[in-house]
Amino acid sequence: MRIVLIIAVAIAVPLGTIGLAVSLNYRAELRREAERGVIAEATATANLIDHHLTSLLATARATASLGQLRSYGDDARADQDQALREFATRLGSNTRLATFTLDGNRFATSNDTPSFNISAYQGFVTAVAGTQAWQVTRSLTTGRSGFYVLTPITASLSQPSQVIGVLGMGVELEDFDDIIDHPATKSPLNGVITFVIDDESNIVLDPGSVTSRPFWTNHSPKDWLRFPFGVIGNSGSVAFSLDGQAFIAGYSRIEQTRWAAVVAVPQTTIMASANRSTLIAILTGTFGAVVATLIGAWRVARIVRPLARIAEASRAFGSGDATVDLPEVGEADQELQDLIDAFRRMRWEIDSRTGERELAHARLEGALESLSAAMSEVEKSHRQVVQRERLHAIGQLASGISHDFNNSLSIIIGYCDTLIAHFPSRTDDARLVTLLTRIRDSAHDGSILVSRLRDFSKGAASPRQLRPLDLNAIIDHSRALALVHIEELHARGTPVSLVASLRSVPLVLGDASELGSALMNLILNAFDAMPNGGTLTIETERQARFVRLTVRDTGTGMSDETRQRCFEPYFTTKGANGTGIGLAMVYGVVARHGGTISVSREPDHGTQFEIHLLVSHDGDAEHVNPLELPLHPLTTVHERSA
Ligand SMILES: Nc1ncnc2c1ncn2[C@@H]1O[C@H](COP(=O)(O)OP(=O)(O)OP(=O)(O)O)[C@@H](O)[C@H]1O
Ligand SMILES: [Mg+2]
């Protein structure tokens, strides 16, 4: 919509401006024209009056030249009156004639009751010098009574007191109203008024009843019109206003008189057409704006809207909407159709490139996943290799020294036993017996360590033949052995219980002796972890190709570091009370069985070990004779020592 406004303004503003400029120029021109017009009319009127005066003068001269008027003595006045009366009759009813003496007194007149005031002509008469002929020009009276022309009668004067040949010729001023009102000078404009004023701004000729107009009756012409002829010259224009109405007036001075013809016109008369043109300009501007708005709306429908749709589609496409499309506009607007086609090509290309990129990205992610899986596999097998190597090294070491070291310990134990057997009766040797007992017990402990190391190394060094086994039977056997410990712990005030939840599971491939030993290690570790009592739970369950064995306690649990290192050989948190071989041995046994072992923290503290052993698919279960199962080394020692 903004574009419509822009187009409308773009068209309407210049149009309106041009219209206004034309209108203003027209107004100024009109005013100048009006001024020229009123001056011309005033000049025409002045010329007309001048012309009339000139013709009056000619008549007077002609009258004088008739020779009828000559110098007469005082006694001849009656004859002269008679003669003047006859001339006046010939010239017209309004014409008056008179003769004057040199001293300015009227001598003879055409009327019985002349309205001439002779004293008014003093100035002209004194211009006559001596008895010579003289030049008298025309003049006008200042009053309303009439208009007079004085002309010399060409004659030699014998005496100054004689009647001089001056003929005064007068007409009523009303005669001039007709002149002013003459069609030749009448303005075609409405409200135009023509009148004549003297040099004191008195209206002397008023044919159109100027002074009777309502607003002019309240004002003296002197209030509103001043004609300082000497300043503004013989013709020109002035503007004045009267009771709120503005006038433009032209004036022109009548030759050799103190009068000027004035033609005034109300400004509203002139400006009416200018106002019309202003209105036309405004209408033109408005029309232009309307047309521009329509054109704009048409363009919007035609171009801007499709463009906006393209922009909208681009935005939607940019925000991921791949389905966005544009309607056809067809050949009617080929450029727009080209634009839409270009948009579609762009979208198609971006689509295909995005598809390729996504594919590559997915491949890359797949590769990364495989890589990371491979890495963790490598890491796992690395850990296993390291663990296996460690176990192997320990096994080698243990098998090397255990035999000889055990022989040494057997000798120490044997001699101790012998000495203890020989001194029991000697009461004063009680201290000796105590010391010997301690030596023997320490040697026993060393022997236990050695035998555990041997067990450990035996397994690590020479893997046994695995056979199908009933895992539940092994667990039952271990449970029976553990009961001895449970009783002991109860006796020491540590309430420990053992719960076995054994499901019917398939046979597993294994070595009964090794598995029994491993399970016993887990059970004893659990008892150690429950110094204030608790429950040990043993479960079996089939899981796909495996049987899962779970050993769970409610003991102290492991720290993160312990959990990570517990399978390391010699890692113990029990100080002198532990060797750190137990879990390493369990790990070795499970690994040799092709199974897995993991340790986790229990939600309410405690620890859980999970062992997965492979299900056996061939043959019956090997009969497990509990007696053939090895006793756990510790158990053995305890039994022996008991
Ligand atoms: N059930 C358990 N709860 C808490 N900690 C345990 C548990 N089992 C093992 N551990 C931790 O793992 C360590 C290693 O156990 P491992 O059986 O290998 O050695 P040990 O028990 O310390 O000594 P020994 O050689 O006598 O078994 C233990 O010292 C103990 O800190
Ligand atoms: Mg242990």
Ligand 1 cavity residues, CB under 6 Å? 521, 525-526, 529, 553, 555-556, 558, 562, 566, 571-574, 578-584, 607
Residue 363 counted as domain residue: yes
Q: Are 394 and 460 in contact (CB under 8 A)?
A: yes
Which stretches of the chain score pLDDT less than 50?
67-74, 112-148, 151-165, 229-231, 620-642
Residue 57 counted as domain residue: no
Q: How far apart are CA 457 and CA 454, in angstroms?
A: 5
* Same domain as 553, residue 458: no
Residue to mutate, 485, 558, 571, 583, ligand 1, most ligand atoms under 8 Å from C-beta = 583
* Ligand 1 atom nearest 551 alpha carbon: 1
* Same domain as 533, residue 403: no
* Ligand 1 atom nearest 579 alpha carbon: 25
Q: How far apart are CA 481 and CA 486, in angstroms?
A: 9
* Same domain as 477, residue 426: no
- Which phi and psi (to 5°) does residue 371 adopt? -60, -45
Regarding beta strands 245-253 and 235-242, do their DSSP bridges make them parallel or antiparallel, or are they unpaired?
A: antiparallel
Instruction: Among 412, 440, 462, identify where a domain stops.
Output: 462
* Same domain as 613, residue 472: yes
* Same domain as 469, residue 457: no
* Same domain as 447, residue 551: no
Compute the CA torsion angle 273, 279, 281, 284 (nearest 10 deg).
-130
Q: Are 549 and 510 in contact (CB under 8 A)?
A: no
First to last CA, the chain: 106
Q: Are 540 and 475 in contact (CB under 8 A)?
A: yes
Q: How far apart are CA 465 and CA 510, in angstroms?
A: 8
Residue 365 counted as domain residue: yes
* Same domain as 560, residue 523: yes
Q: Are 80 and 69 in contact (CB under 8 A)?
A: yes
Residue 265 counted as domain residue: no
* Ligand 1 atom nearest 577 alpha carbon: 26
* Number of domains within the chain: 2
Residue 363, burial from CB neighbour count under 10 angstroms (0-12, 13-18, 19+): exposed
Instruction: Among 435, 462, 489, identify where a domain stops.
Output: 462
Strand ordering across the sheet containing 163-171: 106-109, 96-101, 163-171, 147-152
Residue partners of 203: CB distance under 8 A and separation at least 6: 195, 196, 197, 210, 211, 221
- Which phi and psi (to 5°) does residue 98 adopt? -150, 155
Q: Are 156 and 84 in contact (CB under 8 A)?
A: no
Q: Are 44 and 37 in contact (CB under 8 A)?
A: no
* Same domain as 468, residue 457: no
Per-position b or e across 11-41, b if 16+ CB within 10 A of its CB: bbeebbeebeeebeebbeebbeebbebbbbb
* Same domain as 545, residue 408: no
Residue 251 counted as domain residue: no
Residue 90 counted as domain residue: no
Residue 267, burial from CB neighbour count under 10 angstroms (0-12, 13-18, 19+): middle
Residue 383 counted as domain residue: yes
* Same domain as 626, residue 531: yes
* Same domain as 558, residue 458: no
Q: Are 561 and 599 in contact (CB under 8 A)?
A: no
Residue with tokens 């100054």: 160
Per-position b or e across 127-156, b if 16+ CB within 10 A of its CB: ebeeeeebebebbbbeeeebbbbbbbbebe
Which residue segment(s) compose the domain that 451 sits in? 325-462
Q: Give the pair of three-digit tokens for residue 436.
A: 């010997």
Which CATH number goes with the domain that contains 611?
3.30.565.10
Task: For 339-363, write each residue's pLDDT tens digit.
Answer: 888 888 888 888 888 888 899 999 9
Residue to mutate, 449, 525, 560, ligand 1, most ligand atoms under 8 Å from C-beta = 525
**Closest ligand relative to 527 C-alpha:** 1
Residue 5 counted as domain residue: no
* Same domain as 582, residue 451: no
Look at residue 498 in the predicted model and tell me its pLDDT. 96
Within 10 A of 641 (CB to CB), how many other CB atoms are there? 10
Look at residue 164 in the predicted model and tell me its pLDDT. 44
Instruction: Among 446, 462, 478, identify where a domain stops.
Output: 462
